[in-house]
Chains A and B, each alone.
Chain A
Amino acid sequence: MKINAIKYDTTLKQGSSAVHRDPQNLKEKERAGLCGKNNEDKTKFGGNFTGKSEVAASAIKNSKIKDKIFNSKSYNWLLKFAEEHNVAGSALMALFLAGAVRPATILALPGKKDKEDKIYASGHSMASGIIGFAASTIITSPWDQGVANIMDNYKKHYDKKIENVLAGKDINEGVPELKYKFKLLDKKYERLIELKKMAADKASKIETKALLNQIDTIKLYMKNVTDWAIAIPRSILTIALIPPILKYVFGVQKKSKAAPEPTVQEQPKNTLKMVSRMDGFMNKLNSKADGGSK
Protein backbone atom coordinates (compact mmCIF):
# COMPACT_ATOMS: atom_id res chain seq x y z
CA MET A 1 0.00 0.00 0.00
CA LYS A 2 1.32 3.41 -0.91
CA ILE A 3 0.49 6.46 1.20
CA ASN A 4 0.94 9.86 -0.36
CA ALA A 5 0.99 12.70 2.13
CA ILE A 6 0.05 16.06 0.65
CA LYS A 7 -0.49 19.38 2.31
CA TYR A 8 -3.00 21.46 0.42
CA ASP A 9 -5.59 23.84 1.64
CA THR A 10 -8.81 22.32 0.33
CA THR A 11 -10.55 25.68 0.59
CA LEU A 12 -8.19 26.89 -2.17
CA LYS A 13 -8.41 30.50 -1.09
CA GLN A 14 -4.76 31.23 -0.59
CA GLY A 15 -4.84 33.99 -3.16
CA SER A 16 -1.80 32.95 -5.07
CA SER A 17 -1.34 33.93 -8.69
CA ALA A 18 -3.85 32.63 -11.18
CA VAL A 19 -1.28 30.45 -12.87
CA HIS A 20 0.04 28.66 -9.76
CA ARG A 21 -3.12 28.06 -7.77
CA ASP A 22 -3.38 24.32 -8.45
CA PRO A 23 -0.90 21.56 -7.56
CA GLN A 24 1.80 21.86 -10.16
CA ASN A 25 3.25 18.42 -9.74
CA LEU A 26 1.92 16.09 -12.41
CA LYS A 27 1.87 13.16 -9.97
CA GLU A 28 -0.21 15.13 -7.49
CA LYS A 29 -2.50 16.29 -10.28
CA GLU A 30 -3.14 12.73 -11.34
CA ARG A 31 -3.56 11.23 -7.89
CA ALA A 32 -4.90 13.85 -5.52
CA GLY A 33 -8.21 14.71 -7.11
CA LEU A 34 -9.31 16.64 -4.10
CA CYS A 35 -11.61 19.00 -5.89
CA GLY A 36 -13.84 18.76 -8.85
CA LYS A 37 -11.94 21.38 -10.80
CA ASN A 38 -8.80 19.35 -10.44
CA ASN A 39 -10.46 16.33 -11.95
CA GLU A 40 -11.71 18.42 -14.82
CA ASP A 41 -8.15 19.40 -15.65
CA LYS A 42 -7.05 15.80 -15.48
CA THR A 43 -9.22 14.91 -18.42
CA LYS A 44 -7.63 17.67 -20.50
CA PHE A 45 -4.05 17.11 -19.46
CA GLY A 46 -2.57 14.28 -21.46
CA GLY A 47 1.03 14.42 -20.30
CA ASN A 48 1.88 16.87 -23.06
CA PHE A 49 2.06 20.49 -22.02
CA THR A 50 0.44 21.62 -25.24
CA GLY A 51 -2.61 19.61 -24.29
CA LYS A 52 -2.82 18.05 -27.75
CA SER A 53 -0.45 16.23 -29.98
CA GLU A 54 2.03 18.51 -31.74
CA VAL A 55 1.94 16.23 -34.78
CA ALA A 56 -1.35 16.19 -36.65
CA ALA A 57 -2.46 12.91 -38.17
CA SER A 58 -1.60 12.54 -41.83
CA ALA A 59 -4.45 12.14 -44.29
CA ILE A 60 -2.27 9.94 -46.47
CA LYS A 61 -2.98 6.23 -46.45
CA ASN A 62 -0.08 4.14 -45.06
CA SER A 63 1.56 7.31 -43.79
CA LYS A 64 5.22 7.13 -42.81
CA ILE A 65 7.40 9.00 -40.32
CA LYS A 66 8.19 11.65 -42.92
CA ASP A 67 4.45 12.37 -43.28
CA LYS A 68 4.22 12.92 -39.54
CA ILE A 69 7.20 15.29 -39.71
CA PHE A 70 5.66 17.13 -42.67
CA ASN A 71 2.47 17.66 -40.70
CA SER A 72 4.16 18.81 -37.51
CA LYS A 73 3.74 22.42 -36.47
CA SER A 74 7.46 22.92 -35.88
CA TYR A 75 8.39 21.72 -39.36
CA ASN A 76 5.82 24.02 -40.95
CA TRP A 77 7.07 26.90 -38.82
CA LEU A 78 10.62 26.12 -39.97
CA LEU A 79 9.61 26.19 -43.65
CA LYS A 80 7.88 29.55 -43.25
CA PHE A 81 10.87 30.91 -41.33
CA ALA A 82 13.31 29.67 -44.00
CA GLU A 83 11.31 31.35 -46.75
CA GLU A 84 10.84 34.64 -44.92
CA HIS A 85 14.27 34.94 -43.31
CA ASN A 86 16.93 33.40 -45.55
CA VAL A 87 19.95 34.66 -43.61
CA ALA A 88 18.54 33.96 -40.15
CA GLY A 89 17.38 30.54 -41.40
CA SER A 90 20.92 29.67 -42.45
CA ALA A 91 22.16 30.90 -39.08
CA LEU A 92 19.56 28.70 -37.38
CA MET A 93 20.90 25.65 -39.20
CA ALA A 94 24.43 26.70 -38.19
CA LEU A 95 23.23 27.10 -34.59
CA PHE A 96 21.85 23.58 -34.56
CA LEU A 97 24.94 22.05 -36.15
CA ALA A 98 27.70 24.16 -34.58
CA GLY A 99 25.89 24.59 -31.26
CA ALA A 100 24.83 21.02 -30.61
CA VAL A 101 25.86 18.37 -33.14
CA ARG A 102 29.47 19.45 -33.68
CA PRO A 103 30.41 19.78 -29.97
CA ALA A 104 28.83 16.39 -29.28
CA THR A 105 30.82 14.81 -32.12
CA ILE A 106 34.09 16.49 -31.14
CA LEU A 107 33.69 15.32 -27.54
CA ALA A 108 32.82 11.82 -28.71
CA LEU A 109 35.95 11.56 -30.86
CA PRO A 110 38.54 9.12 -29.46
CA GLY A 111 41.70 10.42 -27.77
CA LYS A 112 42.16 11.17 -24.07
CA LYS A 113 45.33 13.19 -24.56
CA ASP A 114 43.70 16.25 -26.09
CA LYS A 115 40.62 16.37 -23.87
CA GLU A 116 41.18 20.02 -22.95
CA ASP A 117 41.51 20.96 -26.61
CA LYS A 118 38.30 19.15 -27.40
CA ILE A 119 36.42 20.96 -24.63
CA TYR A 120 37.78 24.27 -25.87
CA ALA A 121 36.89 23.45 -29.50
CA SER A 122 33.35 22.48 -28.44
CA GLY A 123 32.90 25.69 -26.45
CA HIS A 124 34.26 27.69 -29.37
CA SER A 125 31.85 26.00 -31.76
CA MET A 126 28.85 26.60 -29.49
CA ALA A 127 29.79 30.23 -28.93
CA SER A 128 30.24 30.90 -32.65
CA GLY A 129 26.88 29.27 -33.44
CA ILE A 130 25.09 31.33 -30.81
CA ILE A 131 26.73 34.64 -31.77
CA GLY A 132 26.18 34.02 -35.48
CA PHE A 133 22.50 33.29 -34.96
CA ALA A 134 21.93 36.20 -32.59
CA ALA A 135 23.70 38.72 -34.84
CA SER A 136 22.00 37.47 -38.00
CA THR A 137 18.54 37.40 -36.47
CA ILE A 138 18.77 40.80 -34.79
CA ILE A 139 20.10 42.54 -37.90
CA THR A 140 18.40 40.76 -40.76
CA SER A 141 14.90 40.09 -39.39
CA PRO A 142 13.73 43.75 -39.51
CA TRP A 143 15.45 44.07 -42.90
CA ASP A 144 13.53 41.05 -44.22
CA GLN A 145 10.37 42.61 -42.82
CA GLY A 146 11.16 45.80 -44.77
CA VAL A 147 11.73 43.84 -48.00
CA ALA A 148 8.49 41.91 -47.44
CA ASN A 149 6.58 45.17 -46.82
CA ILE A 150 7.71 46.60 -50.18
CA MET A 151 7.21 43.43 -52.20
CA ASP A 152 3.79 42.61 -50.67
CA ASN A 153 2.56 46.16 -51.16
CA TYR A 154 3.62 46.15 -54.83
CA LYS A 155 2.17 42.69 -55.43
CA LYS A 156 -1.21 43.58 -53.93
CA HIS A 157 -1.34 46.89 -55.81
CA TYR A 158 -0.49 45.50 -59.23
CA ASP A 159 -2.34 42.19 -58.82
CA LYS A 160 -5.54 44.20 -58.31
CA LYS A 161 -4.73 46.33 -61.36
CA ILE A 162 -4.16 43.22 -63.50
CA GLU A 163 -7.40 41.74 -62.15
CA ASN A 164 -9.24 44.92 -63.21
CA VAL A 165 -7.62 44.83 -66.66
CA LEU A 166 -8.64 41.23 -67.20
CA ALA A 167 -12.19 41.90 -65.92
CA GLY A 168 -12.48 44.94 -68.19
CA LYS A 169 -13.07 47.29 -65.25
CA ASP A 170 -11.51 50.66 -64.49
CA ILE A 171 -7.83 49.92 -63.83
CA ASN A 172 -7.72 51.86 -60.54
CA GLU A 173 -10.91 50.48 -59.02
CA GLY A 174 -10.34 49.25 -55.46
CA VAL A 175 -6.55 49.24 -55.88
CA PRO A 176 -4.59 49.37 -52.60
CA GLU A 177 -2.39 52.44 -52.27
CA LEU A 178 1.33 52.18 -53.07
CA LYS A 179 3.20 53.14 -49.89
CA TYR A 180 6.73 52.96 -51.25
CA LYS A 181 8.67 54.44 -54.17
CA PHE A 182 10.60 51.84 -56.11
CA LYS A 183 10.98 52.82 -59.75
CA LEU A 184 12.48 49.50 -60.82
CA LEU A 185 9.47 47.54 -59.54
CA ASP A 186 7.10 50.12 -61.07
CA LYS A 187 8.75 49.56 -64.45
CA LYS A 188 8.52 45.77 -64.22
CA TYR A 189 4.90 45.70 -63.05
CA GLU A 190 3.79 48.33 -65.61
CA ARG A 191 5.27 46.11 -68.33
CA LEU A 192 3.35 43.17 -66.89
CA ILE A 193 0.10 45.15 -67.20
CA GLU A 194 0.93 46.03 -70.81
CA LEU A 195 1.50 42.36 -71.56
CA LYS A 196 -1.83 41.44 -69.97
CA LYS A 197 -3.57 43.98 -72.17
CA MET A 198 -2.05 42.40 -75.28
CA ALA A 199 -3.18 39.16 -76.89
CA ALA A 200 -1.81 36.13 -75.07
CA ASP A 201 0.70 34.86 -77.62
CA LYS A 202 3.81 32.74 -76.92
CA ALA A 203 6.20 35.70 -76.86
CA SER A 204 4.13 37.61 -74.30
CA LYS A 205 3.85 34.48 -72.14
CA ILE A 206 7.62 34.04 -72.18
CA GLU A 207 8.15 37.70 -71.31
CA THR A 208 5.58 37.54 -68.50
CA LYS A 209 7.35 34.51 -67.04
CA ALA A 210 10.73 36.24 -67.33
CA LEU A 211 9.37 39.37 -65.60
CA LEU A 212 7.89 37.36 -62.72
CA ASN A 213 11.18 35.49 -62.36
CA GLN A 214 13.07 38.77 -62.26
CA ILE A 215 10.76 40.18 -59.56
CA ASP A 216 11.34 37.04 -57.46
CA THR A 217 15.09 37.38 -58.02
CA ILE A 218 15.05 41.03 -56.90
CA LYS A 219 13.36 39.94 -53.66
CA LEU A 220 15.89 37.16 -53.04
CA TYR A 221 18.79 39.49 -53.86
CA MET A 222 17.57 42.23 -51.52
CA LYS A 223 17.14 39.74 -48.68
CA ASN A 224 20.48 37.97 -49.07
CA VAL A 225 22.74 40.91 -49.67
CA THR A 226 22.52 41.60 -45.92
CA ASP A 227 24.44 38.38 -45.34
CA TRP A 228 27.32 39.79 -47.38
CA ALA A 229 27.09 43.16 -45.67
CA ILE A 230 27.15 41.75 -42.16
CA ALA A 231 29.67 38.97 -42.90
CA ILE A 232 32.73 41.00 -41.87
CA PRO A 233 31.34 42.78 -38.76
CA ARG A 234 29.72 39.51 -37.70
CA SER A 235 32.99 37.59 -37.92
CA ILE A 236 34.82 40.39 -36.07
CA LEU A 237 32.11 40.32 -33.40
CA THR A 238 32.34 36.54 -33.21
CA ILE A 239 36.13 36.60 -32.79
CA ALA A 240 35.87 39.35 -30.15
CA LEU A 241 33.05 37.76 -28.16
CA ILE A 242 34.17 34.15 -28.14
CA PRO A 243 36.76 34.43 -25.29
CA PRO A 244 34.41 36.20 -22.81
CA ILE A 245 31.53 33.89 -23.72
CA LEU A 246 33.74 30.86 -23.27
CA LYS A 247 34.97 32.18 -19.94
CA TYR A 248 31.75 33.45 -18.39
CA VAL A 249 29.05 31.33 -20.03
CA PHE A 250 30.78 27.99 -20.53
CA GLY A 251 33.51 28.37 -17.88
CA VAL A 252 36.14 27.25 -20.40
CA GLN A 253 39.50 28.92 -20.74
CA LYS A 254 42.38 28.08 -23.05
CA LYS A 255 45.31 26.90 -20.95
CA SER A 256 48.90 26.75 -22.06
CA LYS A 257 49.83 23.19 -22.97
CA ALA A 258 52.90 22.54 -20.86
CA ALA A 259 53.71 23.87 -17.41
CA PRO A 260 56.55 26.43 -17.59
CA GLU A 261 59.89 24.80 -16.87
CA PRO A 262 62.23 26.55 -14.44
CA THR A 263 64.35 28.96 -16.44
CA VAL A 264 68.10 29.27 -16.33
CA GLN A 265 67.90 32.50 -14.32
CA GLU A 266 65.58 30.95 -11.75
CA GLN A 267 67.91 28.10 -10.89
CA PRO A 268 70.57 30.14 -8.97
CA LYS A 269 67.78 31.77 -6.95
CA ASN A 270 66.50 28.37 -5.88
CA THR A 271 70.01 27.18 -5.18
CA LEU A 272 70.71 30.28 -3.09
CA LYS A 273 67.53 29.69 -1.09
CA MET A 274 68.55 26.12 -0.44
CA VAL A 275 72.07 27.19 0.55
CA SER A 276 70.79 29.87 2.92
CA ARG A 277 68.35 27.37 4.49
CA MET A 278 71.19 24.88 4.91
CA ASP A 279 73.36 27.62 6.44
CA GLY A 280 70.66 28.50 8.96
CA PHE A 281 70.22 24.85 9.87
CA MET A 282 73.97 24.34 10.34
CA ASN A 283 74.22 27.52 12.45
CA LYS A 284 71.44 26.28 14.73
CA LEU A 285 73.19 22.95 15.12
CA ASN A 286 76.49 24.66 15.91
CA SER A 287 74.93 27.01 18.47
CA LYS A 288 73.20 24.05 20.16
CA ALA A 289 76.47 22.18 20.23
CA ASP A 290 78.26 25.26 21.69
CA GLY A 291 75.60 25.71 24.35
CA GLY A 292 75.93 22.09 25.25
CA SER A 293 79.60 22.43 25.77
CA LYS A 294 79.02 25.40 28.04
Chain B
Amino acid sequence: MNVTLNTFSQNLQYNRVANSNNKRQYTAPSFAGSAEQVAESVAKQSKFGKRILKKGTELFDQTGEWFAQKVIPKVFDNTVTDKFSDKVKNCDNLFSHFLAVGSAITSGMYMYKTLTNDKMDKDRRNTLAVNQFLTFALSTAGAYMLDKSLANWWQNMTVRYASNQCNDENLNLVKEFKAEVEKAKAENVEIKKANDALKAAAKAEGRKIAKEELQDLKSVKADKFLRKRIGDYVADPKQLELLNKKIKGMGLLKTMLVFALVYRYIVPVAVTKPANILCDKYLAHKKEKEAQKA
Protein backbone atom coordinates (compact mmCIF):
# COMPACT_ATOMS: atom_id res chain seq x y z
CA MET B 1 0.00 0.00 0.00
CA ASN B 2 1.36 3.39 -0.92
CA VAL B 3 0.54 6.51 1.06
CA THR B 4 1.64 9.87 -0.19
CA LEU B 5 2.00 12.48 2.52
CA ASN B 6 2.34 16.11 1.58
CA THR B 7 4.47 17.85 4.19
CA PHE B 8 4.25 21.27 2.56
CA SER B 9 3.16 24.03 4.95
CA GLN B 10 1.45 27.22 3.80
CA ASN B 11 2.55 28.97 6.99
CA LEU B 12 6.23 28.83 6.14
CA GLN B 13 7.57 32.33 5.63
CA TYR B 14 9.45 31.30 2.50
CA ASN B 15 6.40 29.95 0.74
CA ARG B 16 4.22 32.86 1.82
CA VAL B 17 6.65 35.35 0.31
CA ALA B 18 6.96 33.30 -2.83
CA ASN B 19 3.19 33.05 -3.24
CA SER B 20 2.44 36.66 -2.52
CA ASN B 21 4.96 37.83 -5.08
CA ASN B 22 3.83 35.58 -7.86
CA LYS B 23 0.31 35.03 -9.01
CA ARG B 24 0.91 33.63 -12.43
CA GLN B 25 -1.51 31.16 -13.98
CA TYR B 26 -0.37 27.56 -13.86
CA THR B 27 0.01 25.61 -17.05
CA ALA B 28 1.25 22.06 -16.93
CA PRO B 29 4.07 21.11 -19.26
CA SER B 30 3.34 18.40 -21.78
CA PHE B 31 5.76 15.64 -22.68
CA ALA B 32 3.74 14.21 -25.53
CA GLY B 33 6.10 15.33 -28.28
CA SER B 34 9.39 13.92 -29.51
CA ALA B 35 12.78 14.86 -28.00
CA GLU B 36 13.37 17.20 -30.97
CA GLN B 37 10.05 18.92 -30.33
CA VAL B 38 10.83 19.36 -26.66
CA ALA B 39 14.28 20.76 -27.54
CA GLU B 40 12.67 23.01 -30.10
CA SER B 41 10.05 24.22 -27.61
CA VAL B 42 12.76 24.94 -25.02
CA ALA B 43 14.75 26.80 -27.66
CA LYS B 44 11.61 28.69 -28.65
CA GLN B 45 10.90 29.76 -25.11
CA SER B 46 14.47 30.79 -24.51
CA LYS B 47 15.25 33.92 -26.44
CA PHE B 48 18.96 33.25 -26.14
CA GLY B 49 18.62 29.71 -27.49
CA LYS B 50 16.41 30.93 -30.30
CA ARG B 51 18.90 33.62 -31.24
CA ILE B 52 21.82 31.17 -31.18
CA LEU B 53 19.89 28.66 -33.29
CA LYS B 54 18.90 31.35 -35.78
CA LYS B 55 22.42 32.74 -36.01
CA GLY B 56 23.91 29.27 -36.44
CA THR B 57 21.47 28.35 -39.22
CA GLU B 58 22.04 31.69 -40.93
CA LEU B 59 25.80 31.28 -40.78
CA PHE B 60 25.56 27.73 -42.13
CA ASP B 61 23.30 28.80 -45.01
CA GLN B 62 25.44 31.83 -45.82
CA THR B 63 28.62 29.75 -45.87
CA GLY B 64 26.95 27.15 -48.08
CA GLU B 65 25.68 29.86 -50.43
CA TRP B 66 29.11 31.51 -50.54
CA PHE B 67 30.69 28.17 -51.50
CA ALA B 68 28.01 27.68 -54.19
CA GLN B 69 28.46 31.17 -55.65
CA LYS B 70 32.19 31.79 -55.35
CA VAL B 71 34.17 28.62 -54.75
CA ILE B 72 32.57 25.47 -56.20
CA PRO B 73 32.06 26.71 -59.82
CA LYS B 74 35.60 28.14 -59.86
CA VAL B 75 37.12 24.86 -58.72
CA PHE B 76 34.99 22.38 -60.65
CA ASP B 77 33.61 24.10 -63.76
CA ASN B 78 36.40 22.90 -66.05
CA THR B 79 37.44 20.21 -68.50
CA VAL B 80 39.19 18.17 -65.79
CA THR B 81 35.85 17.58 -64.03
CA ASP B 82 34.20 16.86 -67.38
CA LYS B 83 36.81 14.30 -68.46
CA PHE B 84 37.12 12.69 -65.05
CA SER B 85 33.35 12.36 -64.53
CA ASP B 86 32.94 11.03 -68.07
CA LYS B 87 35.56 8.35 -67.47
CA VAL B 88 34.23 7.12 -64.13
CA LYS B 89 30.49 7.62 -64.69
CA ASN B 90 29.75 3.89 -65.05
CA CYS B 91 31.83 2.86 -62.05
CA ASP B 92 29.73 0.94 -59.51
CA ASN B 93 31.85 1.52 -56.43
CA LEU B 94 33.09 5.03 -57.05
CA PHE B 95 32.49 6.05 -53.45
CA SER B 96 34.82 3.26 -52.25
CA HIS B 97 37.55 4.61 -54.52
CA PHE B 98 37.06 8.11 -53.08
CA LEU B 99 37.44 6.70 -49.56
CA ALA B 100 40.55 4.72 -50.55
CA VAL B 101 42.16 7.81 -52.12
CA GLY B 102 41.39 9.81 -48.95
CA SER B 103 43.04 7.10 -46.86
CA ALA B 104 46.03 6.97 -49.19
CA ILE B 105 46.57 10.73 -48.69
CA THR B 106 46.32 10.43 -44.90
CA SER B 107 48.61 7.37 -44.78
CA GLY B 108 51.06 9.07 -47.14
CA MET B 109 51.17 12.04 -44.79
CA TYR B 110 51.89 9.82 -41.79
CA MET B 111 54.62 8.01 -43.76
CA TYR B 112 56.19 11.34 -44.73
CA LYS B 113 56.08 12.49 -41.09
CA THR B 114 57.75 9.25 -40.01
CA LEU B 115 60.49 9.48 -42.64
CA THR B 116 61.28 13.09 -41.72
CA ASN B 117 61.27 12.50 -37.97
CA ASP B 118 64.77 13.37 -36.70
CA LYS B 119 64.14 11.91 -33.26
CA MET B 120 64.17 8.34 -34.64
CA ASP B 121 67.17 6.51 -36.01
CA LYS B 122 67.17 5.89 -39.76
CA ASP B 123 66.59 2.11 -39.67
CA ARG B 124 63.62 2.45 -37.39
CA ARG B 125 62.16 5.26 -39.55
CA ASN B 126 62.30 3.13 -42.69
CA THR B 127 60.89 0.07 -40.94
CA LEU B 128 58.02 2.09 -39.51
CA ALA B 129 57.23 3.72 -42.88
CA VAL B 130 57.19 0.36 -44.66
CA ASN B 131 55.00 -0.96 -41.86
CA GLN B 132 52.57 1.96 -42.32
CA PHE B 133 52.44 1.38 -46.06
CA LEU B 134 51.76 -2.35 -45.65
CA THR B 135 49.06 -1.66 -43.09
CA PHE B 136 47.40 0.78 -45.51
CA ALA B 137 47.66 -1.67 -48.44
CA LEU B 138 46.29 -4.59 -46.43
CA SER B 139 43.48 -2.47 -44.95
CA THR B 140 42.45 -1.18 -48.37
CA ALA B 141 42.47 -4.65 -49.91
CA GLY B 142 40.51 -6.00 -46.93
CA ALA B 143 37.97 -3.17 -47.14
CA TYR B 144 37.38 -3.76 -50.86
CA MET B 145 37.01 -7.49 -50.32
CA LEU B 146 34.58 -7.11 -47.44
CA ASP B 147 32.61 -4.48 -49.35
CA LYS B 148 32.29 -6.77 -52.36
CA SER B 149 31.40 -9.84 -50.34
CA LEU B 150 28.57 -8.00 -48.59
CA ALA B 151 27.20 -6.49 -51.82
CA ASN B 152 24.53 -9.10 -52.64
CA TRP B 153 23.29 -9.41 -49.07
CA TRP B 154 23.11 -5.63 -48.75
CA GLN B 155 21.17 -5.35 -52.04
CA ASN B 156 18.52 -7.64 -50.58
CA MET B 157 18.53 -5.54 -47.41
CA THR B 158 18.02 -2.40 -49.50
CA VAL B 159 14.98 -3.88 -51.23
CA ARG B 160 13.61 -5.00 -47.87
CA TYR B 161 14.12 -1.48 -46.53
CA ALA B 162 12.21 -0.08 -49.52
CA SER B 163 9.41 -2.60 -48.91
CA ASN B 164 9.13 -1.31 -45.36
CA GLN B 165 9.03 2.29 -46.47
CA CYS B 166 6.45 1.51 -49.17
CA ASN B 167 4.20 -0.45 -46.74
CA ASP B 168 4.58 -3.42 -49.05
CA GLU B 169 2.87 -5.95 -46.75
CA ASN B 170 3.53 -9.07 -48.80
CA LEU B 171 7.10 -8.12 -49.73
CA ASN B 172 6.23 -8.06 -53.43
CA LEU B 173 9.23 -5.85 -54.14
CA VAL B 174 11.55 -8.40 -52.54
CA LYS B 175 10.00 -11.25 -54.53
CA GLU B 176 10.18 -9.31 -57.80
CA PHE B 177 13.80 -8.38 -57.14
CA LYS B 178 14.77 -11.97 -56.41
CA ALA B 179 13.00 -13.14 -59.58
CA GLU B 180 14.84 -10.52 -61.62
CA VAL B 181 18.19 -11.55 -60.13
CA GLU B 182 17.49 -15.20 -60.97
CA LYS B 183 16.45 -14.25 -64.50
CA ALA B 184 19.66 -12.26 -64.98
CA LYS B 185 21.71 -15.23 -63.71
CA ALA B 186 20.06 -17.57 -66.22
CA GLU B 187 20.58 -15.07 -69.02
CA ASN B 188 24.22 -14.62 -68.05
CA VAL B 189 24.83 -18.35 -68.50
CA GLU B 190 23.59 -18.04 -72.09
CA ILE B 191 25.58 -14.85 -72.68
CA LYS B 192 28.76 -16.51 -71.40
CA LYS B 193 28.20 -19.45 -73.75
CA ALA B 194 27.66 -17.11 -76.70
CA ASN B 195 30.75 -15.07 -75.78
CA ASP B 196 32.87 -18.23 -75.50
CA ALA B 197 31.68 -19.33 -78.94
CA LEU B 198 32.59 -15.94 -80.39
CA LYS B 199 36.03 -16.07 -78.76
CA ALA B 200 36.62 -19.59 -80.13
CA ALA B 201 35.56 -18.50 -83.62
CA ALA B 202 37.91 -15.51 -83.50
CA LYS B 203 40.73 -17.75 -82.30
CA ALA B 204 40.08 -20.13 -85.19
CA GLU B 205 40.29 -17.17 -87.57
CA GLY B 206 43.57 -16.23 -85.93
CA ARG B 207 42.51 -12.82 -84.65
CA LYS B 208 41.98 -11.24 -81.24
CA ILE B 209 38.35 -10.49 -80.44
CA ALA B 210 37.38 -6.87 -79.73
CA LYS B 211 35.60 -6.08 -76.45
CA GLU B 212 32.71 -4.46 -78.33
CA GLU B 213 31.96 -7.71 -80.13
CA LEU B 214 31.17 -9.46 -76.84
CA GLN B 215 27.84 -9.15 -75.07
CA ASP B 216 27.79 -7.49 -71.64
CA LEU B 217 26.74 -9.59 -68.67
CA LYS B 218 23.50 -8.52 -67.03
CA SER B 219 23.45 -7.25 -63.47
CA VAL B 220 20.51 -6.18 -61.33
CA LYS B 221 21.20 -3.24 -59.03
CA ALA B 222 18.83 -2.65 -56.14
CA ASP B 223 18.78 1.14 -56.43
CA LYS B 224 18.07 1.09 -60.17
CA PHE B 225 15.43 -1.62 -59.74
CA LEU B 226 13.74 0.33 -56.96
CA ARG B 227 13.85 3.64 -58.83
CA LYS B 228 11.57 2.11 -61.43
CA ARG B 229 9.21 0.38 -58.99
CA ILE B 230 8.65 2.53 -55.92
CA GLY B 231 6.62 5.04 -57.93
CA ASP B 232 3.79 2.47 -57.80
CA TYR B 233 3.76 2.67 -54.00
CA VAL B 234 4.56 6.31 -53.23
CA ALA B 235 2.40 8.91 -54.93
CA ASP B 236 3.75 12.14 -53.42
CA PRO B 237 6.72 13.37 -55.54
CA LYS B 238 8.49 14.84 -52.49
CA GLN B 239 8.18 11.59 -50.55
CA LEU B 240 9.36 9.71 -53.61
CA GLU B 241 12.43 11.92 -53.94
CA LEU B 242 13.20 11.49 -50.23
CA LEU B 243 12.87 7.72 -50.47
CA ASN B 244 15.16 7.60 -53.51
CA LYS B 245 17.66 9.63 -51.51
CA LYS B 246 17.49 7.17 -48.61
CA ILE B 247 17.85 4.18 -50.94
CA LYS B 248 21.01 5.77 -52.31
CA GLY B 249 22.05 6.35 -48.70
CA MET B 250 21.76 2.59 -48.01
CA GLY B 251 24.56 1.84 -50.49
CA LEU B 252 26.72 4.66 -49.18
CA LEU B 253 26.12 3.65 -45.55
CA LYS B 254 27.33 0.11 -46.22
CA THR B 255 30.55 1.32 -47.84
CA MET B 256 31.15 3.88 -45.08
CA LEU B 257 30.62 1.27 -42.39
CA VAL B 258 32.83 -1.33 -44.08
CA PHE B 259 35.73 1.06 -44.69
CA ALA B 260 35.51 2.55 -41.21
CA LEU B 261 35.29 -0.94 -39.72
CA VAL B 262 38.45 -2.08 -41.46
CA TYR B 263 40.48 1.15 -41.21
CA ARG B 264 39.37 2.26 -37.76
CA TYR B 265 38.59 -0.96 -35.93
CA ILE B 266 39.69 -4.35 -37.26
CA VAL B 267 43.22 -3.42 -38.35
CA PRO B 268 44.13 -1.14 -35.38
CA VAL B 269 42.81 -3.68 -32.85
CA ALA B 270 44.48 -6.60 -34.62
CA VAL B 271 47.74 -4.66 -34.79
CA THR B 272 47.75 -3.51 -31.11
CA LYS B 273 49.02 -6.76 -29.55
CA PRO B 274 51.68 -7.71 -32.17
CA ALA B 275 52.85 -4.07 -32.22
CA ASN B 276 53.31 -4.11 -28.43
CA ILE B 277 55.23 -7.39 -28.60
CA LEU B 278 57.47 -6.14 -31.42
CA CYS B 279 58.07 -2.83 -29.63
CA ASP B 280 59.05 -4.61 -26.41
CA LYS B 281 61.41 -6.91 -28.33
CA TYR B 282 62.98 -3.94 -30.09
CA LEU B 283 63.51 -2.07 -26.81
CA ALA B 284 65.05 -5.17 -25.18
CA HIS B 285 67.35 -5.63 -28.18
CA LYS B 286 68.38 -1.96 -28.03
CA LYS B 287 69.10 -2.19 -24.29
CA GLU B 288 71.19 -5.29 -24.84
CA LYS B 289 73.24 -3.58 -27.56
CA GLU B 290 73.85 -0.54 -25.33
CA ALA B 291 74.93 -2.80 -22.49
CA GLN B 292 77.36 -4.60 -24.79
CA LYS B 293 78.82 -1.26 -25.93
CA ALA B 294 79.29 -0.13 -22.34
Q: Chain A interface (Cβ within 8 Å of chain B)?
A: 1-15, 18-19, 21-22, 31-34, 37-38, 40-41, 44-45, 49-52, 58-61, 66-67, 70-71, 73, 76, 78-84, 86, 89-90, 92-94, 96-98, 101-102, 105-106, 109, 111, 114, 117, 121, 125, 129, 141-150, 179-184, 210, 213-214, 216-218, 220-222, 224, 227-228, 231-232, 234-236, 239
Taking each of B22, B86, B110, which has the highest tally of chain A beta carbons within 10 Å of its own beta carbon? B86
Q: Chain B interface (Cβ within 8 Å of chain A)?
A: 1-8, 10, 15, 18-19, 21-24, 26-35, 38, 42, 45, 60-61, 63-69, 71-73, 76-78, 81-82, 84-86, 88-91, 94-95, 98-99, 101-102, 105-106, 109-110, 113, 157, 160-161, 163-165, 167-171, 242, 245-246, 248-250, 252-253, 256-257, 259-261, 263-265, 268-269, 272-273, 276
Q: Across the interface, do B164 and A60 meet the contact criterion of CB distance under 8 Å?
A: yes
Q: Across the interface, do A50 and B4 meet the contact criterion of CB distance under 8 Å?
A: no
A interface, by DSSP: helix, strand, loop or mixed?
Answer: helix
Taking each of B65, B66, B272, which has the highest tally of chain A beta carbons within 10 Å of its own beta carbon? B272
- Whether A44 contacts B95 in the complex (CB less than 8 A), given A141-B60, A221-B81, comes out as no
Q: Across the interface, do A221 and B165 meet the contact criterion of CB distance under 8 Å?
A: no
10 nearest CB pairs, A to B: A145-B64, A146-B67, A15-B22, A79-B249, A83-B249, A93-B260, A37-B28, A142-B63, A146-B68, A59-B167
Q: Across the interface, do B21 and A15 meet the contact criterion of CB distance under 8 Å?
A: yes
Q: Across the interface, do B28 and A61 meet the contact criterion of CB distance under 8 Å?
A: no
Contact of B72 among A12, A51, A59, A146 (CB under 8 A): A146
Q: Given A1-B1, A2-B3, A184-B82, list of 16 further CB < 8 A pairs?
A: A4-B4, A13-B19, A50-B33, A51-B33, A70-B164, A71-B164, A73-B34, A79-B253, A86-B252, A92-B256, A180-B68, A184-B76, A227-B99, A232-B105, A232-B109, A236-B109
Question: Smallest distance from the beta carbon of A132 to chain B beta carbons, Å?
Answer: 9
Instruction: Tell me the bound Cα distance from A146 to B81 in angstroms.
Output: 17
Instruction: Tell me the bound Cα distance from A1 to B4 in angstroms.
Output: 11
Q: Across the interface, do B60 and A9 meet the contact criterion of CB distance under 8 Å?
A: no
Q: Across the interface, do B42 and A89 meet the contact criterion of CB distance under 8 Å?
A: no
Q: Across the interface, do A93 and B102 meet the contact criterion of CB distance under 8 Å?
A: no
